[in-house]
Amino acid sequence: MPGGRILLAHVFLAGAFGAAILAATAYWRDLACRDAVSIESCRAKTGQSPQEQKKFYIAAALVPPYMNENRTGREADIITAALGMGDRKPVAPERIQFIVEPFSRHWFSYQNDKRFAAVATVPGFLELEGYKSKYYIMYRNGIGSFASSDPIDLAHLRGKRVVTFPGASRVIPELGSLPKDFFALFVEREHQRDHSEMLIRGQVDAVIADAMIFAHYNGMVLGGRGPSPVFTDAFAPTCYVMVFRNAEYRDVFDSGLAKMIETGQLRRIDERYIQSSGLGPDIHYVGDDGAPKCPKQP
Amino acid sequence: MTQTTPLESHKFKFKTSMRGVDVIQTVYALLIALGLRDVFAAFYTIFQQAPPDRSDNFLIALALFVNIILLSVRFFWVPRNFRRLYFETTFSEGFSGSKLRTWESSFNIFVILLHGLLHFLLCKQFEYFVFIATTYDLLATASFATYVYLHASLLIVNALWIIYTTWREDDLRKADAPEMLQAKPASRVWIRSNLLFALIALGPLVIFASCSSPLGSCLQAAYPESHWLSALPTSAYSIATLFSWVEPLLGSGHSRDFAIAWWAMAAFVINSLLDLGFTSSYYVLLEDYEEELTYARKV
């Protein structure tokens, strides 16, 4: 029956045409919201709020236990909670998608890939395209060793063998000002599991790192066997901000973070990770009364 | 008006040529160009920075740019090794098709694409280095080390592949082959130069990367257990010892990382210049093969 076939062909063509239009509209909406300066301008362009849009991609650095390969961790919890608690239009947790990459690669990806709505773990002085949030996380830099159960400071490390993270000699000003022969060995290694392994094998006398990262890898390497190294909080903390492409998302995050500090939710998240890392209760982070000061807000 | 010609007057020509290799060469060149596009875009970022914020990183980025351009000029011609191998093995069969096994052709095409991939990664690493060097100086050393490892990997992969193609050429070449085919190709220069300079560039990096202490201490951190192989002149230990002697000349007033960067760049640039200086004619003069069979229908 040729008439029936022609009708079917028309229906099929109309369907294909409709699907093409829908796809083009969705793509255009995506483009419009990606470059939109504000939530209002996005809604004005597309007729939809960003909440109704697709995933909210965040470039994040792989730094366990702050951010694990499986996109969980202390930073993931803080960011998700802050964006969800923000004023006006919070971002639903199911929309947030962390893309985890090696530290510093995540800045590069954010800068070059416009699909990323935000980037986490950015030092305050680093200039990336977008809007900086308030400090939301701090790394507590100190010295880990088996040397003594008493707290030790930098002077104790004279003539010792030390391993630390790349750039430590410039991130921690006290290290940069030391004479070249202060340490018997000074190595900057990227993979922080190596730090714990080198310390446990006796290749170095001390590790200079963040308390929680150090405790995390010690737990992995030791697996509960033998004594744990002692950590001394010896240096100023390193504080980090988020950078958002859209100023209003930045405001959503900042207002959510302020609420978290006010209600004690931030401390509760911190405490969960402090306990699981085996750190003492005397360690404090952003928003705590006992926390050290971050540099002046950029 | 249509003219009708009797079928019997037609002659049919069948051609067998090596133009299939040209297709591979074109695909490969496209991959190289993709990487180079990023290199030029990243270089524009450095170019915009006048005066540069951090002169050390600026100089290293310039050296990397020169280095990657020289490397790209050389590596545009990687598929010519396959062309020569295919040509020789075709001739050895008396112009009746290549003696190469099917899987061997596939393998060679895969290796050519692997060269393209490594080159592309190298270009992306250059772009990343420029980004880090111009935004967050602290991590420039780590990204530079990755660049050197990638470059050395490319040279080593290339050398190993040329060893294989040269061995196959020697294996399949006929004893009575013409003089052109009997001539030793430039491959021997490429193999030796690539392996030697990759080793020289890597040696200090393996021992000293991010270690600012004397050789003995850094060595202990890199290799906790000593091994008799370290006594070999080609060992990382021997090369690092040589580097520690010349280090004061390379980086006086600068960090050790700066000296390592110049050492590695010097090794790679000399490698490229030797190649381009002594063997560039091989890139232009390509062997070709074309066979034509004419078939006339019998009346």
pLDDT digits (tens, 9 = 90+) for A69-84: 999 999 999 999 999 9
- Chain centroid to Cα B241, Å, comes to 27
ipTM confidence score: 0.76
Judged against a pLDDT cut of 80, whether residue B144 lies above it is answered with yes
The pLDDT-based confidence of B94 (bands split at 50, 70, 90) is low
Share of chain A above pLDDT 70, in %: 83
Phi-psi region of A129 (alpha: psi -120 to 50; beta: other; left: phi over 0): beta
Q: What is the mean pLDDT of residues A225-254?
A: 90
Those residues of chain A whose CB sits closer than 8 Å to some CB in chain B are 103-105, 107-108, 111, 123, 126-128, 161, 163, 166-167, 169-171, 180, 183-190, 198, 201, 203-204
CATH number for the domain running over A39-139+239-277 = 3.40.190.10
CB contact under 8 A, A126 and B136: yes
Question: Which is higher by pLDDT, B45 or A18?
Answer: B45
Q: What is the mean pLDDT of residues A10-17?
A: 72
The pLDDT-based confidence of A41 (bands split at 50, 70, 90) is low
Chain A contacts of B143, Cβ < 8 Å? 104
The pLDDT-based confidence of B215 (bands split at 50, 70, 90) is confident
Say if strands A185-188 and A137-139 run parallel, antiparallel, or are unpaired: unpaired
The pLDDT-based confidence of B3 (bands split at 50, 70, 90) is low
Least confident of A122-131, A287-296, B73-82: A287-296
Q: Is A293 helix (H, G, I), strand (E, B) or coil?
A: coil
CB contact under 8 A, A190 and B143: no
Mean pLDDT of chain A: 83
Judged against a pLDDT cut of 90, whether residue A87 lies above it is answered with no
- Whether residue B194 lies within 8 A of chain A, CB to CB, comes out as no
Task: Give B80's contacts (C-beta < 8 A, 6+ positions apart).
Answer: B25, B282, B283, B286
Instruction: Let me know: does A130 contact A245? Beta carbons within 8 Å.
Output: yes
pLDDT for res A109:
94
CA distance A25 to A217: 48
Sign of CA dihedral A273, A275, A279, A284: positive
Judged against a pLDDT cut of 90, whether residue A213 lies above it is answered with yes
Domain boundaries, chain A: 39-139+239-277, 141-232
Q: Best mutation site among A106, A107, A191 for testing chain B: the one with the most B CBs within 10 Å?
A: A107
Place of tokens 């002692």: A230
CB contact under 8 A, A107 and B136: yes
Which residues make beta-bridge pairs with A118?
A: A58, A244
- Whether residue B41 lies within 8 A of chain A, CB to CB, comes out as no
Judged against a pLDDT cut of 60, whether residue A52 lies above it is answered with no
pLDDT for res A35:
47
Q: What is the mean pLDDT of residues A138-162?
A: 84
The pLDDT-based confidence of B230 (bands split at 50, 70, 90) is low
H or E stretch at A28 = helix A2-35
Question: Which is higher by pLDDT, A18 or B110?
Answer: B110
CB contact under 8 A, B218 and A185: yes
Q: What is the mean pLDDT of residues B141-152?
A: 89
CA distance A252 to A260: 12
pLDDT digits (tens, 9 = 90+) for B236-295: 788 888 888 888 777 666 778 788 888 999 999 999 999 998 888 877 777 777 777 787
Which residues make beta-bridge pairs with A145?
A: A206, A230
Q: Best mutation site among B37, B125, B135, B205 for testing chain A: the one with the most A CBs within 10 Å?
A: B135
Number of C-beta neighbours around residue A24 at 10 A: 10
H or E stretch at A220 = helix A211-222
Q: Best mutation site among B37, B45, B123, B138 for testing chain A: the one with the most A CBs within 10 Å?
A: B138
Q: What is the mean pLDDT of residues B129-158?
A: 86
Chain B contacts of A126, Cβ < 8 Å? 135-136
Task: Write down the pTM of the prediction.
Answer: 0.80
Q: List C-alpha distances in Å: B59 to A229, B44, B47, B258, B268.
A: 42, 14, 12, 10, 16
CB contact under 8 A, B221 and A161: yes
Judged against a pLDDT cut of 80, whether residue B84 lies above it is answered with yes
Q: Which of B135, B137, B210 sits opposite A188 (nearest CB)?
A: B210
Chain A contacts of B221, Cβ < 8 Å? 161, 163, 185, 187, 198, 203-204
Q: What are the tokens at A250?
A: 């930045």
Judged against a pLDDT cut of 60, whether residue A37 lies above it is answered with no
pLDDT for res A13:
72
CB contact under 8 A, B138 and A166: yes
- Whether residue B255 lies within 8 A of chain A, CB to CB, comes out as no
Distance in Å, alpha carbon of A209 to nearest chain B alpha carbon: 16
Angle, nearest 10°, between helix axes B140-172 and B102-135? 160
Q: Can A39-139+239-277 and A141-232 be said to share one CATH topology?
A: yes
CA distance B21 to A29: 45
- Chain centroid to Cα B273, Å, comes to 13
Q: Is A171 helix (H, G, I), strand (E, B) or coil?
A: helix
Instruction: Let me know: does B27 contact B225? Beta carbons within 8 Å.
Output: no
Q: What is the mean pLDDT of residues B39-53?
A: 77
The pLDDT-based confidence of A36 (bands split at 50, 70, 90) is very low
pLDDT for res A174:
86
CB contact under 8 A, A204 and B221: yes
Q: What is the mean pLDDT of residues A152-159?
A: 87
Say if strands A56-61 and A96-101 run parallel, antiparallel, or are unpaired: parallel
CA distance B194 to B272: 9
CB contact under 8 A, B210 and A166: yes
Instruction: Let me know: does B172 contact B94? Beta carbons within 8 Å.
Output: no
CA distance A99 to A97: 6
Chain A contacts of B128, Cβ < 8 Å? 105, 108
Q: List C-alpha distances in Å: B271 to B234, B238, B262.
A: 17, 20, 14
Share of chain B above pLDDT 90, in %: 31
Class of domain A141-232: alpha beta
- Whether residue B143 lies within 8 A of chain A, CB to CB, comes out as yes
Taking CA–CA distances from A122, the nearest residue in chain B reads: B136
Share of chain B above pLDDT 70, in %: 81
CB contact under 8 A, B135 and A185: no
Judged against a pLDDT cut of 70, whether residue A100 lies above it is answered with yes
Taking CA–CA distances from A172, the nearest residue in chain B reads: B138
Q: What are the tokens at A173?
A: 């000003």
Judged against a pLDDT cut of 50, whether residue B194 lies above it is answered with yes
Least confident of A30-44, B75-89, B228-242: A30-44
CA distance B287 to B18: 10
H or E stretch at A110 = helix A105-112
Task: Give A31's contacts (C-beta < 8 A, 6+ positions apart).
Answer: none
